[in-house]
Amino acid sequence: MVSSSTMQQPPICHPTTTARWWSKDSIAIVTGANKGIGYALVKRFAELGLTVVLTSRDQSRGLKAVDSLKVLGLDRNVYFCQLDISDQASIRSFVSWFRSRFDAFDILVNNAAVCFNAMNSNSMDHAETVVKTNYYGSKLLTEAILPLSRPSNSAASITRILNISSRLGTLDKLKNTKIKAILEDKERLSEDRIDMVVGVFLQDVKDGSWERQGWPEIWTDYSVSKLALNAYSCVLARRYEGVVSVNCFCPGFTQTAMTDGQGKHSADDAAEMAATLALLPVSRLTTGKFYAGSTTRGMHSKL
């Protein structure tokens, strides 16, 4: 049974020191994986012996990423498929492709995301695209691929979903008390309520009132998209408790294209932490948690 206890947990174990429940027949899907954390995570999963599906919105970049893994000798169990999570037709095509090649998946890492702001800017010019990709795209892919999750006929076969998120999307960044109250009410939280919150935000952007409505102050559109993803993860965790483990992970300030190469640690460091969470033994497996990662302090749950 997946545990959702909030009791203090001992330190999370490194995947190479835990009981190995996976094999080359275990299938991990990583979205947005032609570079950055996604690529590093595909590499780490391949090193640990899983079969990995690398997806990328841009086909040429995705194939180039696979070629670079070939140089490292890690391409034997890596497959590529083009996937744009903001396009429902692309999601349908991906699910059809996956179904034709695999019986089921064991791990889904929703890593694909966009942000159009530089480090010190906060434009809302692409707010709709950011929300459509980071929240709705991840949600639509998850719902489309879930029927192909591994049947839970043993403790080790519990499907794991890890949503790469951000501290920018935590509730303490939200100053709008009415919206905050809706998202804090875990008993009544639903997809409809989350979609309503997202709709209010996009309307505030459209009419130019977003700055005075108490939305997160840094990378506002990106933060709201992750706020919605975090809330959706809680809904999904409750719906599939005992069958699917659903957690969020903020890798921290990581050196990627999104941060203009700035950060406190590398994409490989972030991938190591993400792999640890995705590969937890069933005795340590949680659901409905938001984990924050640090290479110096380790990982801890904020829920």
Of 9-18, 96-105, 115-124, the range with the lowest mean pLDDT is 9-18
Residue 180 confidence (pLDDT) above 70 = yes
Describe the strand order of the beta sheet including 290-294 as a list of residue ranges.
Answer: 78-82, 51-56, 27-30, 107-110, 159-164, 244-250, 290-294, 298-301
Report percent pLDDT > 90 for the chain. 78
The pTM assigned to this predicted structure is: 0.91
Residue 229 confidence (pLDDT) above 60 = yes
The more confident residue out of 11 and 138 is 138
| Residue 9 pLDDT | 44
* β-bridge mates for residue 29, sequence order: 53, 108
Please provide the average confidence, as pLDDT, over all residues in the chain: 89
| Residue 288 pLDDT | 96
Residue 149 confidence (pLDDT) above 90 = yes
Rounded mean pLDDT, 33-60? 97
Residue 17 confidence (pLDDT) above 60 = no
Catalytic residue among 136, 222, 232, 291: 222
Q: Using 50, 70 and 90 to split pLDDT, how confident is the model at 289?
A: very high
**230-245 residue pLDDT tens:** 999 999 999 999 999 9
| Residue 152 pLDDT | 75
| Domain spanning 21-169+229-301: CATH 3.40.50.720 | yes
DSSP character for 167? G
Please list, residue by residue across 131-164, b when 16 or more beta carbons sit within 10 angstroms of its beta carbon and e when fewer do.
bbbbbbbbbbbbebbbebbbeeeeebebbbbbbb
Rounded mean pLDDT, 67-91? 96
Q: Is 222 a catalytic residue?
A: yes
CA–CA dist 275, 43 (Å, integer)? 10
| Residue 1 pLDDT | 37
Residue 249 confidence (pLDDT) above 60 = yes
Q: Using 50, 70 and 90 to split pLDDT, how confident is the model at 33?
A: very high
| Residue 6 pLDDT | 36
Rounded mean pLDDT, 74-85? 96
Which residues, 6+ apart, have CB-to-CB distance to 107 below 8 Å?
26, 27, 28, 29, 45, 50, 159, 160, 161, 162, 278, 279
Domain coordinates in residue numbering, the chain: 21-169+229-301
The more confident residue out of 153 and 241 is 241
